[in-house]
Amino acid sequence: MQISLAIGAIIAALIGFFGGRLSRNKDSKENSAMLLNALFGELLHAFQHYYLAANELPTSKSTNGNESEITKRLNWAKYGEFKSSNEFQKYGFLSKNEFKDLLQLSFLLRNTDYLIEQYLNDINIVSSADLENLKNRMLSISNSSKGLLEFIVSKYPEFDLALKSVEKNNK
């Protein structure tokens, strides 16, 4: 009788242990999928945002009164917070190089917003060369985002259609 109670207790403990472990694994996989979706979505947004913002930015100040158009476009070009930078420690699926690229992209996004704010604070000192450099910077950010997106697609082909859709719209 005591042996069967002990065996029953052991079986119950094993069921509880493995059941809890399976539940944690399922939760972990769902959380990882959610983080991957969020990262992919934000990278897709940065890719498209800076591609469009760069191509809409006037690069000539030759016309008087163009400052209001430039101011409007600069305001539109600001990205805001790169929310995925709050979750870096959870992107274990990235290689060392892609992880480094993601960190650099985060800094580029932040610093580009600072640069745009600087230009907006005194639009009269912004030259055509400054605008051209900003446009090239934004295109570089867009390309960096695309590189990370292509890496994710290489590991998770189910994202390919979303990337191709945005690429098509960017042409």
Q: What is the pLDDT of residue 25?
A: 47
Q: What is the pLDDT of residues 102-112, one digit of tens each?
A: 889 999 999 99
Task: Tell whether the torsion through CA atoms of 159, 161, 162 and 164 is positive or negative.
Answer: positive
Residues 133 and 80: beta-carbon distance below 8 Å:
no
* Assigned architecture for domain 36-169: Up-down Bundle (1.20)
Neighbours of 71 (CB within 10 A): 14
Phi, psi angle pair for 92, to nearest 5°: -65, -15
With a cut of 70, say whether residue 1 has pLDDT above it.
no
What pTM, to 2 d.p., does this model score? 0.77
**Measured distance CA(3)–CA(73) in Å, rounded:** 78
State pLDDT tens for residues 21-78.
Answer: 545 545 555 677 888 888 899 999 999 999 999 999 988 876 555 788 899 999 999 9
